[in-house]
Amino acid sequence: MSTLKIPVGEQDHTQGPTAAPCTLVEYGDYECPHCRAAEPTVKRVQRHFGDRLRFVFRNFPLTKIHWHAEPAAEAAEFAASQGKFWEMHHAIFENQDRLGLDLFEELATELQLDPVALRSAVENEAFADHIRSDFAGGVRSGVNGTPTFFINGERHNGPFDYDHLVKAIEATLKA
């Protein structure tokens, strides 16, 4: 079984208490339809476990098949630099069928971010180091597709529907 090689730290986008007894890490791609399908499931799992779960999202853009994945990650990281990662993260997935600079600028405006600065960040790959670091950590951890989940550092190799994730997390919490 694969293990998470890069521990969760300050560089990560997290939701939930740092001291939560369980941490769910997702390596995801904003253009991946499976990641889009997992988005509401993750939200539901978070509601189910409440303060017992910390969720982490890491970028794993599959750029050879998803042309918009890396620019979408750039847009999310730009929003993160302004304290609005999760808002942009959710909005990108909700609008996955419209990925591109026009959408990212529209979302920036909706989130009261500077759309011109966002365009510049995306075009200049201002957050490429962070995105590539996430990707490299995923590769080191055995990630080869998206979404890939880790529960308390152990790769979840089962389905990522609600029932399977809840069962796997509950087993981890009991251990």
pLDDT at 148: 98
Name the token pair of 13: 């986008």
**What tens digit of pLDDT does each residue of 5-42 get?**
999 999 999 999 999 999 999 999 999 999 999 999 99
Name the token pair of 132: 């590539």
pLDDT at 13: 98
**What tens digit of pLDDT does each residue of 123-164 get?**
999 999 999 999 999 999 999 999 999 999 999 999 999 999
Fold of 13-174: Glutaredoxin (3.40.30)
pLDDT at 1: 64
Mean pLDDT, residues 55-83? 97
Q: Which residues of 28-45 are buried (b: 16+ CB within 10 A; e: fewer)?
A: bbbbbeebbebbebbeeb
Contacts of 18 (CB under 8 A, 6+ apart): 54
